[in-house]
Amino acid sequence: DQQVKQNSPSLSVQEGRISILNCDYTNSMFDYFLWYKKYPAEGPTFLISISSIKDKNEDGRFTVFLNKSAKHLSLHIVPSQPGDSAVYFCAASDSGTYKYIFGTGTRLKVLA
Amino acid sequence: KAGVTQTPRYLIKTRGQQVTLSCSPISGHRSVSWYQQTPGQGLQFLFEYFSETQRNKGNFPGRFSGRQFSNSRSEMNVSTLELGDSALYLCASSLGPTGGDSPLHFGNGTRLTVT
């Protein structure tokens, strides 16, 4: 049972435009969500997080939106840069379970 | 501050053998988690340790085990290796208990190949 889903395996965006990565979840008990970026041969790097008590969190070019009623979150990258080309994972946690559930990832390619 | 260190980076083993992977968390981090990454499967949770206690375990067979030492360093062991165990094994540490406002910080992983 895949509790966290990233339905788009890949996404291509032109440099300077907006990248929107999507993530859906099924467990209404999830109360914390994170986004990670992963380059080949490296471990995932933490990007940004959001608590379920918020619907938006910004950090520079990265903004995460949470729609609890739709059980959906998205990561916006504006403007996109070639260095943003990587695999992006969303993850969710139910506090007290001491684990994060990860999606299968979306490969973003930013074209120069 | 040094990041999460995993050793070795690459490992080639034969079916039936056993393997031990090592992880040193970020200094001051007491929680260590292990994940398995395979193509198309994302990151699958193996287990989480805090203060030498395993607090959660994923849906993996008993061949997968781990432990955490008093200095927070952790090891993961896989016995009777199978071809399907070939994967990238990632260790992550967090300052507080995993989950909530305590994001995971990952190492670069150990690439295990079983032949």
From start to end of chain A, where are the E strands?
Answer: 4-5, 10-14, 19-25, 32-38, 45-51, 56-59, 62-67, 72-77, 86-93, 100-102, 106-111
Which range (A68-77, A95-104, B27-36) has the least confidence?
A: A95-104
A67 burial type by CB count under 10 A (0-12 exposed, 13-18 middle, 19+ buried): exposed
**Torsion (CA) A38, B24, B39, A47 in degrees, nearest 10:** -20
**Distance (Å, rounded) from C-alpha B23 to C-alpha B92?**
8
Q: How far apart are CA B44 and CA B53, in angstroms?
A: 20
Q: Between chains, do B90 and A96 touch, taking CB under 8 Å as contact? A: no
pLDDT at residue A94, rounded to an integer? 85
Give the pair of three-digit tokens for residue B91: 């260790």
Q: Are B6 and B110 in contact (CB under 8 A)?
A: yes
Q: How many CB pairs under 8 A join A and B?
A: 72
Contact assignment for B58 to A99 by CB distance below 8 Å? yes
pLDDT interval class at B1 (50, 70, 90): low
**Contact (CB<8Å) B99/A93:** yes
Per-residue pLDDT at A78: 97
Q: What's the pLDDT at A20?
A: 98
Return the SS3 of A88. Answer: strand
pLDDT mean across residues, chain B: 93
Residue A1 pLDDT > 70:
no
Q: Which of B35, B40, B56 sits opposite A98 (nearest CB)?
A: B56
Are B48 and A31 a contacting pair at CB < 8 A?
A: no
Task: Select the residue of A41, A43, A51 nearest B106 (Cβ to Cβ).
Answer: A43
Q: What does the mean pLDDT of chain A come to?
A: 94
- List the structure tokens of A100: 């994060």
> CA-to-CA distance for A16 and A18, rounded, in angstroms?
7
Model confidence at A110, in pLDDT bands (50, 70, 90)?
Answer: very high
pLDDT tens-digit map of A27-62 = 999 999 999 999 988 999 999 999 999 999 999 999
The most distant pair of C-alpha atoms in chain B lies apart, rounded to whole Å, by: 40
Please check whether residue B42 touches A, CB under 8 A: yes
Q: Which of A30, A87, A26, A95 is nearest to B43 (CA)?
A: A87
